[in-house]
Amino acid sequence: MIKKTRERVSPSVIRRLPRYRRRLTELRDRGVTRISSKELSQITGFTASQIRQDLNNFGGFGQQGYGYNVEDLYEQVGKILGLDKEYRVILIGLGNLGQAIANYTYFNQIGFKIEGIFDVSPQVVGRRVNDIKVQDYRDLSAYLKRNKIDIGIITTNRDSAQEVADTLSKGNVKGIWNFASIDLNVPEHVALENVHLSDSLYTLAYYVNQNQ
């Protein structure tokens, strides 16, 4: 049912898909089997017409007078996002955040398999995290030649992040998940997604002050 289309779907639509999926997970967990776009609107905060429009980008899944089948829509949204596949993932930078993500087995369970961990520090190289041996960062290029890696997670400090991104891009990863507090430059064939924790905290600080 997924419409094969060459037109690019707007990034704001794509960003809403994980939110739909999150809500569908909750509905599914509660045993809800079907839902109208109106009800979906109430729990997501998006208008019913926006939801219909968003989903129509991918073929549309509702049925007039019936609404959406929760399980089906959950599966379809997952498919659109590519969550029915497995991804080979490596992580670079084993600081606190890197350790947290390497130990967060949930991502592993849903198909994002961390296969390699790299760091520059002799204190951590050779250690095992979640049964994965930490490798020397200087071996990353060679590793990427031998292994087809889909996603590189950057959890290094700000100063090293661009160099790591360059190495990953040359090593033909398809996407970079960046946690370093810097805007990276990557070639067009590499998808880049940032988690800027500081930006989020600063935004919160602003609103904390507004509410006083």
- Per-residue CA distances from 144 to 59, 131, 169, 209 (Å): 37, 20, 10, 46
Q: In the set 54, 125, 140, 150, which binds a copy of itself (CB under 8 A)? A: 150
Q: In the set 3, 18, 121, 127, which binds a copy of itself (CB under 8 A)? A: 18
Residue at 1: amino acid letter: M
- Closest alpha carbon to 44 in 16, 84, 4: 16
Identify which of residues 11 and 65 has a Cβ nearer to a copy of itself in the complex: 11
Identify which of residues 120 and 195 has a Cβ nearer to a copy of itself in the complex: 195
Least spacing, CB of residue 138 vs a copy of itself, in Å: 25
Distance CA 118, CA 122 (A): 11
Identify which of residues 127 and 138 has a Cβ nearer to a copy of itself in the complex: 127
**130 Cβ contact list (under 8 Å, min separation 6):** 102, 103, 105, 108, 114
Distance CA 154, CA 157 (A): 9
Q: What is the 3-state secondary structure (H, E, C) of 97-110?
A: HHHHHHHCHHHHHC
DSSP 93: -
Identify which of residues 48 and 182 has a Cβ nearer to a copy of itself in the complex: 182
Q: Which of residues 38-97 bind a copy of itself (CB under 8 A)?
A: 80-83, 85, 87, 96-97
For a copy of itself, what does the binding mask look like between residues 168 and 197, x meaning CB under 8 A?
------xx-x---xxx-----xxx-xxxxx
User: Which residues of this protein are in contact with a copy of itself, per CB under 8 A?
Assistant: 8, 14-15, 17-19, 21-23, 26, 80-83, 85, 87, 96-97, 99-101, 103-104, 106-107, 112, 150-151, 174-175, 177, 181-183, 189-191, 193-212
